[in-house]
Amino acid sequence: MSKCEQCIVREFSSLKALNKEELVKLAECKTSRLVKKGEVIFEEGENVNGIFCVKDGVCKLTKLSPNGKDHIVKLVTKGELLGQRSMISDEPVNLSAVALEDMQICFVPKSEIMGFFDKNNQFSMNVMRTICGDLKEADSQMVNMAQKTVKERLAETLLYLQDTFGKNEDNTLKIQLTRDELASMIGTATESCIRLLSEFNKIGLIELKGKKIILKDIPKLKKMS
């Protein structure tokens, strides 16, 4: 069982507030796991009773809409934590988590984390700030969904994907989403998403290499988002 001290999650998440002693306790109670692309980590409505540390890989957090379509609420990547809201609210998770790539994750049971809340104020504040950041982002996304056109949302999302996950040597977006997933991030029909990608391609905003995407005209994409 590896130590938590050098872990990337510790470096980038609320866990950075933990001291050596706490990290040792963490290492003792955590369980590590490999998750294959497409595998479900948890499902909306489940009781998770702890949090996950994402050591490597990316997953999508989705919510089933009343009409039966999945909507991608957020992408979570290495260094981040998963399931904090549900643990604090002491409720089932309101979102499902599905791996977009092979992942390495650790599970830490709720009891352990709750102990940190009691004894380590900095940790509490870090978690609170993370969730506040999520809330701000969610408010902003809500307004985007309500007020922006699909075209604007697509442009914005493409920029976000490149900013957050970067690009390969051939300039294609590093993160690999299907058209269907991209559509369910921007909140539109798959066909509409594909159609708009074609259009963006035709007018030189992006280039399509098979199912891979290259952003060609970032200023214009920015202007139209």
**Which of 88, 208 has the CB closer to DNA?**
208
- Distances, alpha carbon 160 to alpha carbons 33, 59, 142, in Å: 29, 15, 16
Give the residue, chosen from 33, 63, 74, 151, that forms a contact with DNA under the rule CB under 7 A: 151
**Which of 46, 102 has the CB closer to its own copies?**
46
**Which of 86, 157 has the CB closer to DNA?**
157
24 interacts with, out of its own copies, DNA, none, CB within 5 to 8 A per kind: none
Q: Is residue 197 involved in binding DNA (CB under 7 A)?
A: yes
C-alpha torsion sign, points 39, 45, 47, 53: positive
Give the residue, chosen from 2, 149, 164, 168, that forms a contact with DNA under the rule CB under 7 A: 149
Give the C-alpha separation, 188 to 192, whole Å. Answer: 7
Give the residue, chosen from 188, 200, 215, 221, that forms a contact with DNA under the rule CB under 7 A: 188
Query: Which residues are bridge partners to 32 per DSSP?
Result: 106
Q: Is residue 211 involved in binding DNA (CB under 7 A)?
A: yes
C-alpha torsion sign, points 20, 21, 26, 28: positive
Q: Is residue 6 involved in binding its own copies (CB under 8 A)?
A: no
Residue 61 beta carbon to DNA: minimum distance, rounded to whole angstroms: 19
| Six-digit token string for 206 | 């992006």
| Nearest in space to 76 (alpha carbons), one of 136, 9, 129, 169 | 9
Contact 40, 62 (CB under 8 A): no
Give the residue, chosen from 29, 208, 214, 218, that forms a contact with DNA under the rule CB under 7 A: 208
Contact 107, 42 (CB under 8 A): no
Q: Which runs of E-coded beta strand occur in the chain? A: 31-35, 40-42, 50-56, 58-64, 70-77, 81-82, 96-99, 103-109, 206-209, 212-215
Q: Is residue 191 involved in binding its own copies (CB under 8 A)?
A: no
Give the residue, chosen from 135, 166, 168, 191, that forms a contact with its own copies under the rule CB under 8 A: 135
Which residues of the chain form contacts with DNA (CB under 7 A)? Answer: 149-151, 178-180, 187-192, 194-195, 197-198, 208, 210-211
Which residues of the chain form contacts with its own copies (CB under 8 A)? Answer: 63, 65-67, 69, 71, 73, 85, 88-89, 91, 94-95, 117-118, 121, 124-125, 127-129, 131-136, 138-148, 152, 186-187
